[in-house]
Amino acid sequence: MMAILCFRKSFIMLLILSFSLLPLSCVTTKDVRIGEEQIPSDVYIEKDVPAAVEIKPISQQIVNVSEKGPLKITVKDAILIALENNRSLLVERINPSIRKTFEDQERAVFDPTVEAEVSEQRNDIKSLNQSGSYTGNSVNDVIQGSISLKNYFPTGTFVEIDATTKTTDSDLYNEPYSSTRLGLSVTQSLLRGFGTGVNLAQLRQSRIETDITQYELRGFSESLLAQVETTYWDYALSQRQVEIVEESLKLARQQITETEEMIKVGAMAEAELAAVQAEVAAQQQGLINAKSNLESNRLQLLRLLNPPGQTLWDRDINMVHPPTLPEIKLDVVETHVALAIRMRPEMNQAKLNIQKENLEIVRTKNGLLPKMDLFITLGKTGYADSFSGSVNDIDGDSYDMMAGINFKYPIFNRDAGAQHRRAILRRDQVEMALDNLKQLVEFDVRNAYIEVNRTKEQISASTATRKFQEEKMRIETEKFRVGLSINFFVAQAQRDLLVSRINEVQAVVNYLKALINFYRQEGSLLERRGINAPGRDPIKYYRNNK
């Protein structure tokens, strides 16, 4: 019984000693960071990939939105509300965190492991003398325990530190005897599995995939931002259309009153009334359509913003600022193309995919090598009639040592060869895809650049058209009042003026929407709206254009 108690006490001490070695084992693994290790010279790593960060407002401004009553917002308020409350964006924000859990799984390969075991065994053995006669039973009690600390390092080194002890108490001996062994085993890969390049490849790939999901979040956020701004200006245009049609309808009804008075005094034939009545009916029809369009845009904007409150769909929206013409001067198109190649999320995802495939080439190329491991095992064992004595006897002359080499290689190694060839083909494919994407990005930017300039020129043209239509309407009205024109021509002039006024506001909104799309195509929309995102800050680059 004393031997058992002594064993347990000393075993706990060994356990504490082994755990004290645990931080030393973790240091090397923890200090290994992606990008800090030496990358093999045959691995191409794209350097021009911005770091991906969380999508959030730079100013950390919070819009206080009441849960009841009309929603009074500017376009900036709409952006901040959408970033905070849009449900689709809330769903997308979780993806990078989910992806990061795979990093932890890959890092776990290099985590140290502690194993411990304690057992007690009794053997009741029948004893015989030399003549074969039964002399009785002998009872052997065996108590043994072990504890080990194992760790696999990114260099391809496997290290195990273990302590084992065994105490036997038998009827055949007067005293129990014990043995305690401390051992160290090191196995180093010499060919396959050697070096941090191959052993950290999957961890690096996992981190690249996390960055890819962050760029996916950036792309989704840019698309959402563009949709919010576009819908905001569509709603503003719908409001203005309703106002313009109501004003035009008011003039048409006034025209009916004037026509009826002229018919009463005999200054005009009764047949002239039909033309102005038809115009009023057409204006009423247009007003119905304008109000319906306004309501649809209101619902769409509410869905994108998702402001707090229980009565989401019943809330009105009041625009604080109407559509106005911003003073923006674009640089030469080549400057915007260069910015798009750096900032577009798709471009950065493609660059990261190249890095990922290059790491896959490193990993599969390692599989072509034979497996040859160098192993060394060292041990010291102490023997005594008690556990504590065997521990003290470890300082004695007894030891064991073993060293050797393991070699293994499949004769044809077709599986590894096929994986390596596939990795090379995929790397070539993603490089060609990047070249194709560059061309598409340049096409998108150049096309959006043309559209911005076109819509800007349309503003002045639509303004001139509206002024001419106003003068035409004034002349026709004056001619009608002196009997030199008829209701048909007045109604036609009135309809042309209505269209020109709507087109003038439409031209401003189209220009704003063209700018939004242009900034999205060059990948700078988030930064231009004050949102943290991957890449350099184009706000500073285009400070004079804001």
pLDDT exceeds 80 at position 285? yes
Band of pLDDT at residue 159, cut at 50, 70 and 90: very high
**pLDDT-above-90 percentage for the chain:** 46
Distance CA 153, CA 161 (A): 14
Mean pLDDT for the stretch of residues 537-544 = 35
The encoded tokens of residue 102 equal 């795979």
Question: Which pair of tokens denotes residue 209?
Answer: 């995939």
111 backbone dihedrals φ, ψ, rounded to 5°: -80, 140
Does the pLDDT at position 536 exceed 50?
A: no
Average pLDDT (108-117) is: 94
Per-residue model confidence (pLDDT) at position 52? 42
Q: If you search the block for the tokens 């209101």, which residue do you land on?
A: 298
Between 92-96, 307-311, 366-370, 429-433, the lowest mean confidence (pLDDT) is in 307-311
Assess if residue 85 is contained within a domain. no
pLDDT at 234: 92
Side-chain-facing half-sphere of 381: CA atoms under 13 Å:
12
Q: What pLDDT does residue 521 have?
A: 94
Nearest to 82 by CA among 235, 303, 236: 303
140: pLDDT strictly greater than 60: yes
Interval 308-328 mean pLDDT: 79
Q: How confident is the model at residue 157 (pLDDT cuts 50, 70, 90)?
A: very high
Q: Assess if residue 3 is contained within a domain.
A: yes
Q: What is the mean pLDDT of residues 96-100?
A: 92
pLDDT value for 129:
61
Q: Which residue has the higher pLDDT, 172 or 265?
A: 265
d(CA 296, CA 313) in angstroms, rounded, equals 11
Tell which wins on pLDDT, 504 or 130: 504
Taking the C-alpha atoms of residue 20 and residue 243, their distance in angstroms, rounded to an integer, is 79
221/235 Cα distance (integer angstroms):
21
pLDDT exceeds cutoff 70 at 306: yes
- Are 236 and 319 within 8 A, CB to CB? yes
**Rounded mean pLDDT, 278-294:** 89
Query: What sign does the dihedral 71-72-73-77 (CA atoms) show?
Result: negative
pLDDT band at 533 (very low <50, low <70, confident <90, very high): low
Contact 379, 182 (CB under 8 A): yes
Per-residue pLDDT reduced to its tens digit, 383-441: 777 777 777 767 777 788 999 999 999 988 999 999 999 999 999 999 999 999 999 99
pLDDT reported for residue 542: 34
Mean pLDDT for the chain overall = 81
Amino acid 273: pLDDT: 81
In a domain, 380, yes or no: yes
Is 13's pLDDT higher than 50? Answer: no
* 257-261 average pLDDT score: 78
Q: Looking at 46-50, 191-195, 205-209, which range is the least confident one?
A: 46-50
Is 432 a domain residue? no
Calpha distance 406→401 (Å, rounded)? 16
Which two tokens mark 211?
């960055």
d(CA 441, CA 345): 11
Residue 1 scores a pLDDT above 60: no
**Residue 300 pLDDT exceeds 90:** yes
pLDDT tens per residue, range 56-92: 544 445 556 666 778 888 888 899 999 888 999 999 9
Beta-carbon contacts of 135 under 8 Å, excluding residues fewer than 6 positions away, are 127, 128, 129
Rg (CA), the chain: 41
447-503 residue pLDDT tens: 999 999 999 999 999 989 989 988 888 888 888 777 777 777 877 888 888 888 888
11 in a structural domain? yes
Question: Which stretch of 39-43, 281-285, 467-471 has the lowest confidence by average pLDDT?
Answer: 39-43
Give the separation between CA 139 and CA 127, rounded to whole angstroms.
10
Residue 127 lies in a domain: yes
| pLDDT reading at 41 higher than 60 | no
How many CA within 13 A on the CB side of residue 72? Answer: 4
Residue 66: what pLDDT?
65
Q: What does the block give as tokens for 359?
A: 């790491």
182 inside domain? yes
Average pLDDT for 375-386: 83
**Which whole number is the average pLDDT over 517-537?**
79
Residue 370 has pLDDT above 60, yes or no: yes
Quickly list DSSP for 135-199: EEEEEEEEEEEEEEEEEE-TTSEEEEEEEEEEEEEETTSSS-EEEEEEEEEEEEESSTT-SHHHH
In the numeric block, which tokens belong to residue 203? 């961890």
Residue 373 is classified by DSSP as E
| Residues 113, 159 contacting (CB under 8 angstroms) | no
- Residue 387's domain comprises 1-31+119-199+371-408
Average pLDDT over residues 216-245: 92
Read off the pLDDT band of 23 (50, 70, 90): very low
Domain count, the chain: 1
Judge whether 311 lies within some domain: no
